[in-house]
Structure 1
Amino acid sequence: MTLPDFPDPQRAWAYRPTSPLSGDSGEPLAGLSFSVKDLYGVAGWPLRASTHAPVPDPGESVLVRRLLDLGASAVGKTHLHEIALGITGMNGFGGTTHPFDPERVPGGSSSGAAVSVALGQVDFALGTDTGGSIRVPAAWCGVAGYKATKDHPAWSTEGVLPLSWTCDHAGPLARDVGTIVRVHEALTGREIAPQDWAGVRVGVWLPEGWVDDAVWGAVREFASGLERLGATPEEADFPEVLDAYSPIVLSEAARVHSKALEQDDPGFTPFTLGLLRQGQALTEVEVEAAHERRAVYRAQLDALLTRCDVLLAPAVPTSPPLIGQDDVDLREGRAPLRRAVLRLTAPFSLLGAPTASLPSRVPFAGVQLVGRHGEDDRLLGLALTLEG
């Protein structure tokens, strides 16, 4: 079996072998193809993490091997935002562009993953999510994405080059929730039934000023749709968590790449190198204080998800920005792009809650559904109902 000869003007693909790694026939995922974000270790395939710097070898991915055993076939590896430290898709190989608009970014860090499913090149894609890296490109490319509860046994990060062991998650992207559910069912051995929205308490987290008018309206309309299904929407409040998230992620990323950082010019792009140097400069006291703040935020999220069954939130603040655009116009005014995106998505990777990114009525600007820790099956069942 040879690979389909599709073009790659978006620079989504980091490695495509002559033939795919074929999954076992007769298994639950037989007939499905998938792409692999180039952080996952795959035997016989290179791992570069979309950087020219040297990177550690994480060993073979447990998740990739499990998917092959379940019958899915791996087509190749996709590009990412360099070492996963970013939300646009830029890297040392030219960066990945949007699947339908070459002047715009696809989102990151799982940029190539989102493009590969948006263009129908694979049935699903393996991504990782440390601060929004599945949900942001899913939203900006108009597909679905899912980040499991932290350390979910079905979605192993063993054999994946880490960015932050505190915040890293594995998960899939696909053109529809049904495919995500099929993969999750195969991995867990449990069937997921569509869930009734009647009586579900939905906390609507839509901070004033953090999105543009189009996204604001889309989230409100999504909430109204849930209400028509019998859910009970109510306003929800949650703080910005970047004062905990950024020190933890940058300090851990600097430790992961410490050997490369011993060189004056290790090969990272200037933006990535600057962030890693920031992480190196953080003191133990500063990092410990960030972990203490994280514990406070975790308690706040747990309390919120006691009052609500799920949260509804924007996945991105605007539609996809132009390549090279550093700021976005929001209801509160002009804001740095990186902060504008991360303050919406980072809470749920920092705190490990299962989260699905779903398309909304605004093209390429999705919403997030956030569930309680460990309630992945229920969350996916609720998302599945919306697609029916």
Structure 2
Amino acid sequence: MSDPTGIWAYLPAAPLPGTPGGPLSGLKFSVKDLFGVEGWPLHASTRALLPHVDPSPLVTRLLELGATCVGKTHLHEIALGITGMNAFGGTPNPLDSTRVTGGSSSGAAASVASGQADFALGTDTGGSIRVPAAWCGVVGYKPTKDNALWPTEGVLPLSPTCDHAGPLARDLSTILRVQEALSGKAVQPQSWAGLRVGVWQPTAWLDVQANEALSAFAAQVKSQGGALMPAELPDMLDAYSDIVQSEAAHVHRAALALPEPGFTSGTLALLRRGAGLSAEAVAAARERREVYRRLLDDLMDGLDVLLAPAVPCAAPLTGQDEVTLIGGTVPLRVAVLRLTVPFSLLGLPTLVLPLPTSDGLSVGVQVVAKRGADERLLELGQGLLEQSLNVGSGHGFPST
């Protein structure tokens, strides 16, 4: 059955039980409705025709490890957006129901923030795990692109170039527990003392709350011995938008060929734009991506880890399409994605830790490691927990 709260796309009569006695026994997880689950429908929060999706090996593996799957969560329609709106309405933010959760993994974030699941499977193409994690006050993890522990097989694609699968949870400890079960290796705490910590803080792209929260987090890292140094990155939305929208149009070409494709107007406009891009335009976008790859790799070569804002401000009101930042008023999509796109466009592993605001809402920090350094990234996250810093612990939310 469906759920009127906007979180659940599908709630079965009974959950799928995990294998008794497994390392994840006792944990409940939700699945974003892009993942194929045997015997369960897949609608991707749209009324449009969708391609066939096989069962997800990641879901199967988590069940084998003992976790229980409780249902499938809503998302921004076909994952092509950052607010969480879809053909069925949208998912209210558990911190303030007048605000968006962020997308596209909107129901995933809300399911864990509200205590209905211990962890959630989401996907991230341009920020789709990281944005809702920050806005809902939970933790998100986007692995390195094509990390074998977090496969995207059995997931309805949006952009094969940029798609990632990963978890969200109310606290970092739960994500580390899931990672340990999947890898069979303990995550050992890593000290931040002596690390070269880049801080990408594009102040004009943030509001005062987000800017101050990032500064405070960086100060905590410095107090643990991290050596802070400024870092800069360009706006990479030009390459990202053309690549993702052209690939999404190809994925959904069968629906687009119908007289009435079935998508909402905003989604359809983006897909039509993608379908209309020339091969030359897409090739040029891929060339720009390679330029950005070299730039980011050069930056990361001089760092152990990079800190960056996860969102430009706290969650906006439902229906709000612009945000006012220190540098001026900006369209919401641009304001959000220019902060998150570099790390999914180029596939770097990223943790998002929630940072509470004084008015009971949430922003967040991205902690980014070198491509392939997922284990090191999680060890650094564990190191923050060992130091009892006020991060990654589901700020302001009651225990389940």
TM-score (norm 1): 0.97
Measured in 1, the distance between the counterparts of 2:157 and 2:213 equals 34
- Residues 120-143 of structure 1, C-alpha deviation per residue, up to 9 Å, x if partnerless? 111100000000000000000000
1:123 and 2:118 equivalent? yes
Aligned residues: 383
Measured in 2, the distance between the counterparts of 1:9 and 1:268 equals 21
Matched residue SS, 2:292: helix
Shift in Å, 1:8:
5.2
Q: Show the counterpart of 1:386.
A: 384
Measured in 1, the distance between the counterparts of 2:85 and 2:385 equals 32
Measured in 2, the distance between the counterparts of 1:339 and 1:370 equals 21
Measured in 2, the distance between the counterparts of 1:15 and 1:8 equals 7
**Which residue of 282, 303, 326 corresponds with 1:331?**
326
Q: Show the counterpart of 1:298.
A: 293
Q: Show the counterpart of 1:234.
A: 229
Shift in Å, 1:265:
1.8
**Which residue of 9, 15, 19 corresponds with 2:10?**
15
- Residues 296-322 of structure 1, C-alpha deviation per residue, up to 9 Å, x if partnerless? 111111111111111101000000000
Q: Show the counterpart of 2:142.
A: 147
Measured in 2, the distance between the counterparts of 1:297 and 1:29 equals 39
Measured in 2, the distance between the counterparts of 1:329 and 1:232 equals 32
Letter in 2 for 1:381: E
Measured in 1, the distance between the counterparts of 2:300 and 2:218 equals 17
Matched residue SS, 1:289: helix
Matched residue SS, 2:286: helix
Matched residue SS, 2:166: strand
CA contact (8 A) 2:3 2:11 kept: no
Shift in Å, 1:385:
2.2
Measured in 2, the distance between the counterparts of 1:141 and 1:384 equals 21
Letter in 1 for 2:341: A
Q: Show the counterpart of 2:19.
A: 24
CA contact (8 A) 1:201 1:232 kept: yes
Matched residue SS, 2:146: coil
CA contact (8 A) 1:10 1:99 kept: no
Measured in 1, the distance between the counterparts of 2:3 and 2:222 equals 42
1:62 and 2:57 equivalent? yes
- Residues 53-89 of structure 1, C-alpha deviation per residue, up to 9 Å, x if partnerless? 0111121101001111111110000000000000000
- Residues 231-279 of structure 1, C-alpha deviation per residue, up to 9 Å, x if partnerless? 0111001111011100000000000000000013211000000000000
Measured in 2, the distance between the counterparts of 1:99 and 1:124 equals 16
**Which residue of 163, 174, 178 corresponds with 2:169?**
174
1:364 and 2:359 equivalent? no
Matched residue SS, 1:243: helix
Q: Show the counterpart of 2:48.
A: 53
Matched residue SS, 2:367: strand
More deviation, 81-90/296-305: 296-305
Matched residue SS, 1:349: helix
Measured in 2, the distance between the counterparts of 1:32 and 1:234 equals 39
Measured on the aligned residues, the alpha-carbon RMSD in Å equals 1.2
Please identify runs of 4+ aligned residues in structure 1 that moved more than 4 A. none
Letter in 1 for 2:154: G
State how 1:280-319 maps to structure 2 within 5 Å: 280-319=275-314
State how 1:339-350 maps to structure 2 within 5 Å: 339-350=334-345
Shift in Å, 1:9:
5.2
CA contact (8 A) 1:10 1:102 kept: no
Letter in 1 for 2:385: E
Q: Show the counterpart of 1:255.
A: 250
Structure 1: runs of 5+ lacking an equivalent: none
Matched residue SS, 1:58: coil
User: What is the aligned-residue identity percentage?
Assistant: 62
Measured in 1, the distance between the counterparts of 2:3 and 2:209 equals 31
Structure 2: runs of 5+ lacking an equivalent: 387-400
Q: Show the counterpart of 1:374.
A: 372
State how 1:32-47 maps to structure 2 within 5 Å: 32-47=27-42
Measured in 2, the distance between the counterparts of 1:129 and 1:195 equals 26
